[in-house]
Amino acid sequence: MASPLALQSQIYRSLPEMERSEAIVRRISTAISLGMLRVGERLPVEAELSEMFGVAGATLRDALASLRDQGVVETRRGRNGGTFVVKFPPTQEENLRQYLRETSIADLRDLGDEQTAVAAAAARLACDRADPKDLDRLERLARGLEQATTPETQARADSRFHIELAVVAQSPRLTSQEIRLQAEVGQLLWTPMAGVFDEQVAAREHLGIVAAVREDDPDRAQRLVLEHIRRNTYHLIDTKLTLTHAGEEQEIS
């Protein structure tokens, strides 16, 4: 099943002139990591991709070649051919550890504040703008977290819910910001570097947000978003403190 048009417009939007094949690789890899593109999904044809990204055909082919070298996509010939997503990019746990080591507690709190602002605005707008079928899709994504069984699938399910909340709010700018935030923080929450994140609690919180939006209660939706992201932020801070303490003990020993 292809990604919704609202997501496609974010994944394949035109690139600034200074960004070329590396930016395309990063954009598509991020979309796959966040579950915006699924394994088995076919990318648009090369001519269409070139036009959407605003790059020359040679630049696009370089990017697709790099993705093929990484084993993330493959190109098949024939009548039903094309370029297909074949696997998710691997989680680089050491990179996540380094991010937490180098990011201050104040910066983590600031990141949580930004997430709250974006998600709360999306929730309030969704109360006014969301179509019932959009909310059905949002609820299915919320329940998807209950069914996820690995840190990687949990991270994707969580990120897709938050991105979809902005999508149903019908705000391309909020959707773009949410994608950027999920690319930064999504895997940090779920990779068990210092403690396991409770997916059942997170799923219940997601469903509560959906219920508030469905009942057209923007104040409750905003409050639930605030509580949800505050808990996420506390988890990241606890993880950072645990990793920092473990590192200090190793240095002493």
Tens of pLDDT, residue by residue over 19-62, are 678 889 999 999 999 989 999 999 999 999 999 998 899 999 99
Is pLDDT at 92 greater than 90 in this prediction? no
SS3 75: strand
* Residue among 58, 59, 88 at smallest CA distance from 73: 88
Indicate where the chain has its CATH 1.10.10.10 domain(s).
5-85
| Burial bucket for residue 196 (CB in 10 Å: 0-12, 13-18, 19+) | exposed
Whole-Å CA distances, 201 to 158, 207, 227: 12, 10, 12
- Please tell me what DSSP assigns to residue 37: S
Q: What is the pLDDT of residue 16?
A: 63
Total count of residues recorded for the chain: 253
Alpha helices by DSSP H, listed for the chain, are 5-11, 21-33, 46-53, 57-69, 93-102, 105-129, 132-147, 151-168, 172-190, 199-214, 218-252
Indicate where the chain has its CATH 1.20.120.530 domain(s).
93-252
- Identify the CATH class of 5-85: mainly alpha
CATH superfamily membership of 93-252: GntR ligand-binding domain-like (1.20.120.530)
Q: What is the pLDDT of residue 251?
A: 46
Is pLDDT at 221 greater than 70 in this prediction? yes
* Residue among 118, 117, 123 at smallest CA distance from 215: 123
Cα torsion at 205, 210, 213, 215 (round to 10°)? -100
Is pLDDT at 207 greater than 90 in this prediction? yes
Percent of the chain with pLDDT over 90: 66
Structure tokens at 78: 């024939």
* Residue among 132, 148, 144, 142 at smallest CA distance from 162: 142
Which residues touch 48 (CB under 8 Å, ≥6 apart)?
none
Gap between the Cα atoms of 177 and 124, Å rounded:
16
Is pLDDT at 190 greater than 90 in this prediction? no
- Whole-prediction pTM value? 0.84
Read off the pLDDT of each residue in 194-215 and give the average, rounded to a whole number.
91
Q: Is the pLDDT higher at 233 or at 12?
A: 233
* Residue among 61, 40, 44 at smallest CA distance from 8: 44
- 100 and 243 in contact (C-beta within 8 Å)? yes
Give one word for 149, left, alpha or beta, with left for phi > 0 and alpha for psi -120 to 50: alpha
Residue 248: which pLDDT band, with cuts at 50, 70 and 90?
very low
Residue 3: which pLDDT band, with cuts at 50, 70 and 90?
low
Is pLDDT at 17 greater than 70 in this prediction? no
